[in-house]
């Protein structure tokens, strides 16, 4: 038996945690047991095929060098055809066949797709949208995370799987659920509203504290009884923003409780087998992965290119860097990506030759020690039949299959990179609570965008081959020379103090507009903006001056700002650039303040491309952080990963033409040849190894 967490009472919400750094990340064990090679493989759904296909598949897996497959993720209806009655025959056989071929298993708990009997028996477990729509069956996806029936059923199947396969030699990893938070996360069912109230009682202790935190005297929202509080469902006008922010926190935590309950059920049987779940690092707006990463044994992540964007590989790099940061710098599993097109974007663009390998190898360069795909064999039925696979509908004669085999061979030569680190001296702040708050209604401009700003800052560093970590604003930042806060709308007192301490001890901080504006309750603290950052930035903001659509303003350093300006009053800072026109004409646009032994920069407008890149270059130079000459987005990406013994330089050419790289020497891992300078052909990737003394 496992100890089921009581609704709303497990894992403190991220900001409830007194000291985030007190708990090591990631939580517990090291790597996948018995694995000394970069794991290669993918989701495998044998229930969609006859037994003779399994045999053929496993032979092809061997041929491609596949070592790890994720199975059982959507098998609940087969494994528990009637409530409490288990039929493990097919899974037993698949597990045995895989083991016989030397392929390890990442065994899924199938709780992202409850069977038809579950929905018929427990209709109250259907999630309900903010508009009151009860979502139906016939698809897949989460039940209401606070449904006691769902939690019991999920724990039941996890417990049964744990008991059945505890000693199976193929089992090396547990894969709980599938992409918690997608496609739905928030649920407004009666059970969720009740659990939200319990969560609030735990958080605030008293109604007075809640009324104060939520500012309920505004619009006469004061509560006199806990039962008067509802989930923040669609209302005539906008709902209290602090209430919505808390509901987002409650939701992330409710989903985390579901993960923890399953994990603990499995751990009771297999304390030695690591447990993970697949994150969507930059792409799951509803989950605070900093809190989640403390609960998994190994961080695993899914990433799909935004196919139509020309910079989609930059977004992939950013996602990989965030994933590595969530893993505390330790290796992580690329649990899913695609060999070619997906099927769920407006236009599902095929990957070009070489692109799959670049995506995979850049992930390894950025810390992944496992490269898996969705999925091994392309489905013939169902919603995903037009999604690419390792083995496409066209079978082994296809280019994709040939590239899969080639990738298996390439990864086979990279085992020595395992466990390597990606040292970074720059961190970008990433705080999903701030994103939740900023995304609420009635902000000063619709053109404000936290993700857009973070991508813009990240891209300019990427173009200059600068290694970047992501950090939570509560984290110990002392390992970094430069911290970027392009979008820190919500900054609680502890975060602001942390940033002040970072700068006073010699760090360089770059903050940008609409940062440091509200506290953890989405309330504006006393005094001028930006409350906690006024002192370190050496300025105050008298007024926001958002631009009209398509308006721009020139600065006297030659750069151009759009979207935003502030009416800045300097209080110790110097103006680095001043607006020449626009709503803030004559006012500072970019400032720098010496504070302690460091300096803090403020960018009050939306700078893009080289305007932003040149400014960041100045900050990096001041901090003594090396940066390369800026290269185009469709250019050569260079990433360094190092172990105690060797430096691995990954060179991925995202353009069509050859790129010469003069300053790299060592052994080309693919050919074994010694190189001193090399040409990376268009679309190709090279990995060069050099020994460290
Ligand atoms: C997600 C899911 C998979 C599959 C892929 C398709 O990542 O986890 O089951 O649906 O998308 O891209």
Annotated catalytic residue within 80, 179, 262, 637: 179
Contact (CB, 8 A) for 296 and 332 = no
pLDDT tens readout for residues 24-47: 334 445 899 988 999 999 999 999
Cβ count within 10 A of residue 272: 8
Q: How many angstroms separate the first and last alpha carbons of the chain?
A: 52
Residue 207 — φ and ψ, nearest 5°? -65, -30
pLDDT of 189 strictly over 70: yes
Write down all domains in the chain, each with its CATH number in brackets: 17-417 (3.20.20.80), 426-623 (3.40.50.880), 636-691 (2.60.40.1180)
Residue 451 — φ and ψ, nearest 5°? -65, -40
Query: Rounded to an integer, what distance in angstroms lies between the CA atom of residue 428 and that of residue 488?
Result: 10
Could you tell me the distance, in angstroms and rounded to a whole number, from the CA of residue 305 to the centre of ligand 1?
12
210-234 mean pLDDT: 98
What ligand 1 atom has the least distance to the C-alpha of 280?
Answer: 7
Query: Rounded to an integer, what distance in angstroms lies between the CA atom of residue 29 and that of residue 53?
Result: 35
pLDDT of 356 strictly over 50: yes
Q: Is 179 a catalytic residue?
A: yes
Single pTM value for the model:
0.96
Of 310, 400, 401, 407, the residue nearest 363 (C-alpha): 407
Beta bridge partners of 527: none
**Binding site annotation covers 352?**
no
pLDDT of 22 strictly over 70: no
Confidence of residue 18 (pLDDT cuts 50, 70, 90): very low
Percent of the chain with pLDDT over 90: 95
- Helical residues (DSSP H) of 101-140, grouped into ranges: 116-121
pLDDT tens readout for residues 517-536: 999 999 999 999 999 999 99
553-558 mean pLDDT: 98
Confidence of residue 8 (pLDDT cuts 50, 70, 90): very low
Which residue's structure tokens are 């037009």?
A: 386
Could you tell me the distance, in angstroms and rounded to a whole number, from the CA of residue 374 to the centre of ligand 1?
6
Query: Rounded to an integer, what distance in angstroms lies between the CA atom of residue 635 and that of residue 70?
Result: 34
Confidence of residue 154 (pLDDT cuts 50, 70, 90): very high
Q: Residue 29 has what pLDDT? A: 54
Torsion angle of C-alpha atoms 7, 11, 16, 17, degrees rounded to 10: 170
Residue 263 CB contacts under 8 Å (≥ 6 apart), including other chains:
174, 176, 275, 295, 296
Q: Residue 1 has what pLDDT? A: 29
**Binding site annotation covers 117?**
no
Q: What is the DSSP letter of 179?
A: S
Residue 21 — φ and ψ, nearest 5°? -80, -15
pLDDT of 445 strictly over 90: yes
Query: Rounded to an integer, what distance in angstroms lies between the CA atom of residue 599 and that of residue 523?
Result: 28
User: What is the residue with the minimal CA distance to atom 12 of ligand 1?
Assistant: 342
Of 413, 426, 283, the residue nearest 361 (C-alpha): 413
pLDDT tens readout for residues 294-349: 999 999 999 999 999 999 999 999 999 999 999 999 999 999 999 999 999 999 99
Q: What is the DSSP letter of 337?
A: -
Which residue's structure tokens are 């053929």?
A: 56
Annotated catalytic residue within 186, 336, 460, 637: 336
Angle at 17 between CA 13 and CA 22, to 5 degrees: 135
579-597 mean pLDDT: 98
Q: Is 124 a catalytic residue?
A: no
Which residue's structure tokens are 């009771």?
A: 268
Which residue's structure tokens are 């517990």?
A: 28
**Binding site annotation covers 187?**
yes
What ligand 1 atom has the least distance to the C-alpha of 74?
Answer: 9
Could you tell me the distance, in angstroms and rounded to a whole number, from the CA of residue 387 to the centre of ligand 1?
9
Residue 117 — φ and ψ, nearest 5°? -60, -30
């Amino acid at each position: 038996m496992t100890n089921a967490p009581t609704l709303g009472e497990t894992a403190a919400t991220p900001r409830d945690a007194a000291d985030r750094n007190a708990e090591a990340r990631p939580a517990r064990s090291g790597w996948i047991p018995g694995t000394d090679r970069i794991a290669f493989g993918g989701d495998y759904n044998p229930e969609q095929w006859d037994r003779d296909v399994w045999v053929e598949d496993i032979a092809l897996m061997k041929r491609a060098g596949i070592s790890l497959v994720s199975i059982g993720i959507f098998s609940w209806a087969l494994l528990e055809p009637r409530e409490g009655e288990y039929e493990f025959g097919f899974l037993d056989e698949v597990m045995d066949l895989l083991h016989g071929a030397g392929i390890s298993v990442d065994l899924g708990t199938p709780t992202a797709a409850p069977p038809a009997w579950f929905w018929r028996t427990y209709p109250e477990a259907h999630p309900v949208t903010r508009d009151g729509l009860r979502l139906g069956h016939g698809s897949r996806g989460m039940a209401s995370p606070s449904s006691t029936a769902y939690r019991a059923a999920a724990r039941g199947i996890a417990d049964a799987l744990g008991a059945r396969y505890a000693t199976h030699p193929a089992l090396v990893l547990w894969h709980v659920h599938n992409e918690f938070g997608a496609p739905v996360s928030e649920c407004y069912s009666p059970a969720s509203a009740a659990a939200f109230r319990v969560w609030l009682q735990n958080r605030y202790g008293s109604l007075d504290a809640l009324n104060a935190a939520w500012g309920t005297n505004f619009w006469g929202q004061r509560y006199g009884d806990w039962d008067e509080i509802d989930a923040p469902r669609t209302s005539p006008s906008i709902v209290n923003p602090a209430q919505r922010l808390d509901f987002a926190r409650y939701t992330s935590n409710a989903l985390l409780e579901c993960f923890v309950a399953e994990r603990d059920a499995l751990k009771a049987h297999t304390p030695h087998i690591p447990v993970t779940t697949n994150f969507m690092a930059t792409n799951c707006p509803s989950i605070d992965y900093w809190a989640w990463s403390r609960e998994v044994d190994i961080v695993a992540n899914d990433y799909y290119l935004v196919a139509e964007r020309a910079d989609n590989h930059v977004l992939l790099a950013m996602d990989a860097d965030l994933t590595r940061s969530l893993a505390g710098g330790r290796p992580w599993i690329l649990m899913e990506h695609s060999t070619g097109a997906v099927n769920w974007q407006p236009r599902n663009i095929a990957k070009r030759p070489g692109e799959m390998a670049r995506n995979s190898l850049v992930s390894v360069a950025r810390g992944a020690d496992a490269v898996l795909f969705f999925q091994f064999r392309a489905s013939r039925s169902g919603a995903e039949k037009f999604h690419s696979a390792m083995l496409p509908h066209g079978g082994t004669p296809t280019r994709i299959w040939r590239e899969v085999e080639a990738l298996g061979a390439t990864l086979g030569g990279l085992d020595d990179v395992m466990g390597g680190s990606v040292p970074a001296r720059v961190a970008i702040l990433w705080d999903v609570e701030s994103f939740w708050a900023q995304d609420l209604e009635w902000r000063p401009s619709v053109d404000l965008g936290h993700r857009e700003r973070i991508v813009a800052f990240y891209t300019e560093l990427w173009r200059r081959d600068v290694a970047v970590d992501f950090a939570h604003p509560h984290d110990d930042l002392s390992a970094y020379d430069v911290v970027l806060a392009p979008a820190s709308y919500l900054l609680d007192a502890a975060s602001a103090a942390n940033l002040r301490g970072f700068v006073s001890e010699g760090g360089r901080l770059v903050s940008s507009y609409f940062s440091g504006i509200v506290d953890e309750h989405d309330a504006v603290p006393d005094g001028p903006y930006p409350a906690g950052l006024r002192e370190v930035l050496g300025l105050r903001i008298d007024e926001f001056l958002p631009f009209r659509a398509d308006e721009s303003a020139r600065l006297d350093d030659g750069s151009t700002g759009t979207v935003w300006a502030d009416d800045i009053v300097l209080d110790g800072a110097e103006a680095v650039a001043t607006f020449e026109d626009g709503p803030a004409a004559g006012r500072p646009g970019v400032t720098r303040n010496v504070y302690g032994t460091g300096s803090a920069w403020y960018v009050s407008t939306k700078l893009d491309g080289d305007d932003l890149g040149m400014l960041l270059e100045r900050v990096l130079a001041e901090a003594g952080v090396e940066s390369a000459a800026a290269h185009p987005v469709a250019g050569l990406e260079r990433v360094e990963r190092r172990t105690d013994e060797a430096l691995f330089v990954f060179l991925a050419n995202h353009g069509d033409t050859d790129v010469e790289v003069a300053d790299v020497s060592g052994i080309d891992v693919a050919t074994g040849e010694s190189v001193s300078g090399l040409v990376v052909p268009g679309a190709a990737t090279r990995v060069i190894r050099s020994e460290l003394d």
